[in-house]
Amino acid sequence: MELCLGASILKRTQPDPAVESALVERCKRQDAEAFGKIVDAYQNRVYGFVRRMIRDNDEAADITQEVFIRAYQAFIRFDGRSSLRTWLFRIAHNLCVDRVRKHDRMPTEFHLDNGSEEDGPMDVADSRWDPQHLVLDDELRKVVETAIANMSEKLRSVLLLHDQEDLAYDEIAQALDLPIGTVKSRLFLARNHLQTVLSPYLKGEVSQ
């Protein structure tokens, strides 16, 4: 039986594109007020992503702060070829990877018998995991979080950006500097892993 990991995800509120574009231009002139509005619009999203990548509240807060410091310093070089949110998540992802490697805490990658990301592009069913809707039991919620944490950074980042942050394949490809086919393959593997871990719980085969 196919496991549906959440039928929908809450849509994230996006600033009006025209307003955001004007704020970006002001940020390029080091306008602190405009930058504060950018931070207000995106800091919770960035923190949520970082928190699931790092799994430490204090470190996640530090990295989130560093994301916006880096962004403020680099706005003059932001050329608009990617969206602002894609650019911010790219900075966040790179900082997370650097922090994990610095502390040598990279989780062991799991292996699936039915393929790997090297197999090429895969068609990914558009079913999304969403802990807010999928998991009502605290213990099962922990199972979801642990399953995500035990993925490799490569799979976890794609899953979070697509299914939690609602980024499209091309936006993830830009954020992670990957081919779209690789994004799809990693998402397929990540969802397969979640399905494997959660299926016994959702079928009632594991007592909680």
15 dihedral zone (left: phi>0; alpha: psi -120 to 50; beta) = beta
pTM for the whole structure: 0.77
**pLDDT 10s digits, 122-161:** 555 555 555 444 545 677 778 888 899 899 999 999 999 9
Residue 167 has pLDDT above 90, yes or no: yes
3 state DSSP class of 14: coil
**pLDDT 10s digits, 97-128:** 998 888 765 444 444 434 455 445 455 555 55
Q: What is the pLDDT of residue 145?
A: 86
Which H or E run contains 99?
Answer: helix 84-103
* Calpha distance 20→92 (Å, rounded): 19
Please state, in angstroms and as integers, the Cα–Cα distance from residue 27 to each residue in 55, 176, 190, following that order: 31, 24, 36
What percentage of the chain carries pLDDT values higher than 90? 56
**pLDDT 10s digits, 20-52:** 999 999 999 999 999 999 999 999 999 999 999
Average pLDDT over residues 189-193: 93
Average pLDDT over residues 164-181: 95
* Calpha distance 106→189 (Å, rounded): 18
Identify residue 63 by its one-letter amino acid code: I
Structure tokens at 104: 């040598």
* Calpha distance 54→137 (Å, rounded): 23
Residue 4 has pLDDT above 70, yes or no: no
Judge whether 162 and 169 are in contact, CB under 8 Å: yes
* Calpha distance 78→76 (Å, rounded): 6
Q: What is the pLDDT of residue 50?
A: 96
Q: What is the pLDDT of residue 139?
A: 75
Structure tokens at 69: 């410091």
Please state, in angstroms and as integers, the Cα–Cα distance from residue 115 to each residue in 84, 176, 188, following that order: 34, 21, 10
Q: What is the pLDDT of residue 108?
A: 42
Going by C-beta distance under 8 Å and a sequence separation of 6 or more, which residues neighbour residue 29? none
Q: What is the pLDDT of residue 154?
A: 93
Residue 197 has pLDDT above 80, yes or no: yes
